[in-house]
Structure 1
Amino acid sequence: MKKIFISILTLASLTGYAQNPAPAKPQARATALLGGTIHIGNGQVIPNGVIIFDKGVITNVVDATIVKLNLTDVDVVNIAGKHVYPGIISPASTVGLQEVASVRATLDKEEVGILNPNVRALIAYNTDSEVIPTIRNNGVLLTQATPQGGTVSGSSSVMMADGWNWEDAALKKDDGIWLNWPGYFARNFNFEDFTITLKKNDKRNEVISALQATFADAKGYAALPNLSPMNLRLESMRGLFTGTQNLYVRADYGKDIIEAVTFAKSFGIPRVVVVGGEEANRVVTFLKDNNVSVILSALHRLPNREDEDVDLPYKLPSILQKAGILVSLSYADEWWRTRNLPFLAGTAAGFGIADREEALKLVTSNTAKILGIDNLVGTLEKGKQATLFVSAGDALDMRTNVIEHVFIQGRTVNLDDRHKRLYNTYKEKYQQK
C-alpha cells in the first residue's frame, strides 16, 4: 500500500511539473508598447510607434516621432528595437482536437459517419493541450478548430490560444461547414517505400448524389423560419444559404476545384472557400470569376506533377495573390507543425511576394477576412482586439522569431511551454559535465 501511495505521489508531482501555465487574467490597466516597429498587418509599417490597449481593445496606434501621448496612467513597456505584429491566425487546424496521433483517446478531430453537418468542433477543443503553448511561442494566437472525416465533417470555430475551457477560448462559433469533395482520384501513401499512388474513386457518383440530396433538403429547410421541432442536422447548415457561414471545400486537383465550386454555387451558397488548393494555379481565372478564396495547404512540399517547377508550391501564394484572389496559408493536418506557420509566409516572401508586409497578410489580415473575423482581429487598428505579440526580430524568419511578449485580448500570456521545459531540463543536465 505504501509503494502504491508513493507511486501516485510521484506521478502527481511529475504531472504538476508538466502542466501548462494557467490562462492569463483579464487586463487590469491600460498598456502601452513604446518604441517598437509596428507591423499593422495591412501592408503598413510604423518604424517607431506606440500602441495602447485597454480592457482588451486597442485604443491608439500612432507614430511616436509625430504624436506625443500622455502615458502617466498607463503601464509602459519599452520595446525599442523590437517588432509588434497582430496575432497570427491558423486556419483549417486540428490544434486542440488531437494531441498524440498514436493514442486514440486523444483524437477528437472526427465523428463516426459520412454526413455530419451538425457536429461542432469547438466543444471538443482542449484548452489544456500541450500543443497550444508551443504555437503561442511563435506568434500563432488564433486557430480554427476544424473537424475532419466523412464527406460533410461538421462546423469549425475560431478559437483563442488561451482560456480555461472552450467557452472562454471561442472567438467565433460555427463559422462554417466543412465538405470533403469526392474527387476522381484518391491518393494513397505507402509507408514502406514512401511513394504516393493514385486510385480511382469508385464511389464518387454515389457520394455526390447523397450530397445533392442533403444540400437540397438544407436549402429548402433554410427557406422556412422558426421550424418546430428543429432538425439539428439541417439547422446547422442554415447559415450557408443566408451568408453567415462559409462553405469550406477540401479539394486539390484543378478539375475537382471547379466541380466543387460549381456544386456550391448551384445551391446559391455565396461564401465558398477552397482548402488545400494544390493545383489552384491551374484554375486561377475560374476562382477569380467566382470570387472564391483559397486556404493553401503547407507550402513545404514537392509539386504534384513531375513536369512542374520544383518550387511551384512556394510560388503558389504569389500566383494567386497577383491574380486578385484572397489567399491564406495553413498547415491543415499537420497540427504539431502549426507553430511553423509564420515561416510559410516567410517562404512565400522569398518566392514571388517581394514585399514582406504583403506576405504577412497571408497569415493575418487575409485569414481574418476569409474567416469573417476581420472586424475583431487581423490588423493592429484602433477598436480591434489587442491580440498581438512582440518579437525580437522578423516574425517570418525562424532565425529571428523570438517572442518576448504575447497579449490575447489584452491579457498578458505566460510564455512557458513543454519545449522550453525540456530544453532547460537537458541544458542543466549537460552543462553539469
Structure 2
Amino acid sequence: MFIKNAKIYTMAGKVLENGCILIENGKIKNVGENIECNDSNVIDANGGTVIPGMIDAHCHIGIIEGSKGFEGSDVNEMTDPITPHLRAIDGVYPFDEYFPKAVKAGVTTVMTGPGSANVIGGQFIAMKTYGTNVDRMVVLEPAAMKIAFGENPKRVYNGKNKMPMTRMATAALLRQTLIEAKNYKLKKEKALEKGEHFDINIKMESLIPVIDKKMVLKAHCHRADDILTAIRVAKEFDVNLTLDHCTEGHLITEYIKEAKVPAIVGPTMSFNSKIELINKSFTTPSTLIKAGIKVAIMTDHPVIEIQYLPICAGLAAKEGDITFEEALSTITINAAEILGVDDRIGSIEIGKDADIVILDGSPFDLTSNTLYTIINGEIVYRQTK
C-alpha cells in the first residue's frame, strides 16, 4: 500500500507537508516526501491530514459492552477487594458495538481492563480495535495491574461492611498484599533453588511482574491525597506507576514531577458525578505538560464514548493553551510510551505497525471526517459517502 499527497504528522519530530508512506506486510517500510513506488494499491490523500492511529490509554471497551446492561458488564468483581489474578483478556468481547465506532473515529489501540471497585482489580490489556479474536488483537498482555484509591473501593466495601471502608484501609491492604507478594517470590526462589515442591498461588504469581518492575501499577486516583498516596506506596515498594485520572494533578504538579511518574488524564468531558471530581478541568493536561510531565488523555469509556477521544484532546488544547502537536501526542506517542508499546505504535516511523488515520481536516475539528483507518496495514474503515 502507498499513501501519497498527505500532510503527515509523524509524531517523531517532523511534519511532512506533502508526504508519502509505503506499507509492506503490515509495517511502515518508508515515510518521506520523495518516495518512489510502483505498487498499484495507492491511496491519494489529496492534501488530507495523516496521523498515527490514536490510542486510548485507559478505558473499558469490550469489558463493559454497549446496549447490554448487566449481561455485558464484566468490569468489576465486587466480591473481594484483592483480585490481581483477574485478566481483562478473559472478559473482552471483540464484537462490542463500540469497537467499530472506535475504528471509524481513528482509535486503533486501546488499554482496557477492570474497573476501580477493588483495591487491586486485575490486569489490563493493550489491544487493537479491529478483529474477531482478542488473542490476535493483543499488543501487550498483561499490560498493567489496576489498583484503586479514593471513593470507589470505600463505597463498594462499606456497603458490604468489610475492609476497606477508609482511605487508610485501602492503602493498608495494598501494602499488605505487596509485602505478601515479595515474601512469596522469595520463598518460591529458595524452593526452586533447592529443588523442593512449591505450591503456586495465582494471586501472588500475578504480582511478581509488578515486584520485578516488569509491569506497571495503573493507579485510579482522582484527588490530590490519593495521588500522593499512590506515589508514596510506589516509592516504598520500588515499583512502576501511572497516575490514571489524576484529576487534581494540577494542584500538586511539583510533587508529580518530582516523582517522575506519567499521568493519564480524564474523563474530563463528563458530569461531576462525585465529590472527588469537584476540581476537574480541561487545563489539567496542559499544566502537567508545561511542567515537563508526560501526559496521555483518556475517555474512560463508557464514561465518555470512545469515539470522542480526539475531541477530549482538542478541548485540552483549547482550554489549556497547548499546541496542536502537544495535544495530539497525548493520544498517540505519549500514550504509547506510557503504556510501554511505543516500539510498535504511536508514531509513523519505519518498522512500526502501519496503524494510520487519514482525515479531511484536523482530528480535533468536529466537522472533519475520517477517510481511512488502517490497522496493521489493512484498510478497516473507508468513508463511503
TM over 0.5: yes
Q: Does 1:49 align with 2:19?
A: yes
In structure 2, which of residues 38, 48, 51 is the aligned counterpart of residue 72 of structure 1?
A: 38
C-alpha separation in 2, matches of 1:85 and 1:241: 36
- How far residue 245 of structure 1 moved from its aligned partner, in angstroms, is 0.7
The code of the aligned residue for 1:243 comes to: K
Go from structure 1 to structure 2 and tell me whether the alpha carbon gap of 1:302 and 1:283 turns closer, same or farther (over 3 Å shift). farther
Separation of aligned partners in 1, 2:363 and 2:301: 23
Aligned counterpart, 2:182: 219
Q: Identify the match of residue 161 of structure 1 among 129, 133, 145.
A: 129
- For residues 170 and 183 of structure 2, what CA distance do their matches in structure 1 show? 20
3-state SS in 2 of match to 1:92: strand
Task: Sort the Cα spacing of 1:304 and 1:412 in 2 relative to 1 into closer, same or farther, 3 A.
Answer: closer
Secondary structure of the 2:105 match is coil
The answer to whether the aligner puts 1:408 opposite 2:375 as a matched pair is yes
2-structure distance, mates of 1:93, 1:304: 18
Aligned in 2, Cα 1:159/1:209: closer, same or farther, shift over 3 Å?
Answer: same
Query: Does the 8 Å CA contact 1:93/1:144 hold for their aligned counterparts?
Result: yes
1:93 aligns with 2:62: no
What does 1:270-289 align with in structure 2 at a 5 Å threshold?
271-289=240-258
Q: Is the Cα contact below 8 Å between 1:42 and 1:361 reproduced in 2?
A: no
Q: Contact 2:149–2:167 at 8 Å: present in 1 too?
A: no
Helix, strand or coil: the match of 1:163?
Answer: coil
TM superposition shift of 1:342: 0.5
Give every structure 1 segment of 4 or more consecutive aligned residues whose post-TM-superposition deviation is greater than 6 Å. 184-188, 302-306
So what's the TM-score if we normalise by structure 1?
A: 0.79
- Determine whether 1:320 maps to 2:291: no
> 1:229: Cα distance to partner?
3.3
Query: 1:147 corresponds to which residue?
Result: 114
Structure-2 change in CA distance of 1:101 and 1:265 (3 Å)? farther
The answer to whether 1:233 aligns with 2:203 is yes
Question: How many Å apart are 1:256 and its aligned residue?
Answer: 1.5
Contact 1:183 1:256 in 2 (8 A): no
The residue identity in structure 1 corresponding to 2:204 is L
CA distances 1:365-406 after superposition (whole Å, capped 9, x unpaired): 010001000010000001111011111111121221x11111
- For residues 358-377 of structure 1, the aligned pairs below 5 Å read 358-377=326-345
Cα shift at 1:303: 7.6
Amino acid at match of 1:259: T
- 1:42-76 CA-to-partner distances (Å, cap 9, x unmatched) read 4521110001110011011101xxx2x33113522
TM-score of the aligned structures, taking structure 2 as reference length: 0.88
Deviation at 1:353, TM superposition (A): 3.6
How far apart, in 1, do the equivalents of 2:269 and 2:105 lie? Answer: 18
Q: Name the CA distance, whole Å, in 1 between partners of 2:331 and 2:249.
A: 18
Q: Pick which of 244-253 and 370-379 moved more.
A: 244-253
Letter in 2 for 1:84: V
SS in 2 for 1:407: strand
Structure 2: 5+ residue runs without aligned partners?
157-163
Following superposition, the deviation at residue 218 of structure 1 comes to 1.0
Contact 1:327 1:366 in 2 (8 A): yes
Equivalent residue number for residue 382 of structure 1: 350
- What is the match of residue 266 of structure 2? 297
Which range moved further: 212-221 or 100-109? 100-109
Deviation at 1:41, TM superposition (A): 2.0
Query: 1:107 — aligned with what?
Result: 73
AA partner of residue 268 (structure 1): D
Following the alignment from structure 1 to structure 2, what is the Cα–Cα distance between the partners of residues 373 and 185?
29
Once residues 167 and 304 of structure 2 are traced to their aligned partners in structure 1, the CA distance between those partners, rounded to angstroms, is: 31
Point out the more displaced range, 70-79 or 367-376. Answer: 70-79
Cα distance in 2, alignment partners of residues 208 and 314 from structure 1? 28
Aligned position for 1:206: 169
Q: Distance in 2 between matches of 1:101 and 1:207?
A: 33
| Partner Cα distance (2:122, 2:278) in 1 | 36
Deviations 1:305-349 (A, max 9, x none): 99x999x71211110001011111111152561110001111111
**What is the alpha-carbon distance in structure 1 between the residues aligned to residue 69 and residue 278 of structure 2?**
38
Cα distance 1:184–1:146, how it changes in 2: closer, same or farther (>3 A)?
closer
Q: 1:2-43: CA deviations, max 9, x gaps?
A: xxxxxxxxxxxxxxxxxxxxxxxxxxxxx1100111011245
Q: Which amino acid aligns with 2:137?
A: A
Q: State the shift of 1:203 in Å.
A: 3.6
**Residues 1:134 and 2:134 aligned together:** no
CA displacement, residues 143-198 of structure 1 (integer Å, 9 cap, x when unaligned):
1111113211100010101112111111110111010114699689xxxxxxxxxx
- Shift in Å at residue 123 of structure 1? 1.8
Q: Give, in angstroms, the shift of residue 357 of structure 1.
A: 1.1
Cα separation, partners in 2 of 1:294 and 1:318, compared to 1, 3 Å: same
Aligned residues: 368
C-alpha offsets along residues 80-123 of structure 1, whole Å, 9 cap, x if unaligned?
22111101101221111122466211111122421100100012
AA at the equivalent of 1:61: V
Determine what percentage of the aligned residue pairs are the same residue: 24
Paired residue for 1:246? 216
Q: Is the 8 A contact 2:154 2:167 kept in 1?
A: no
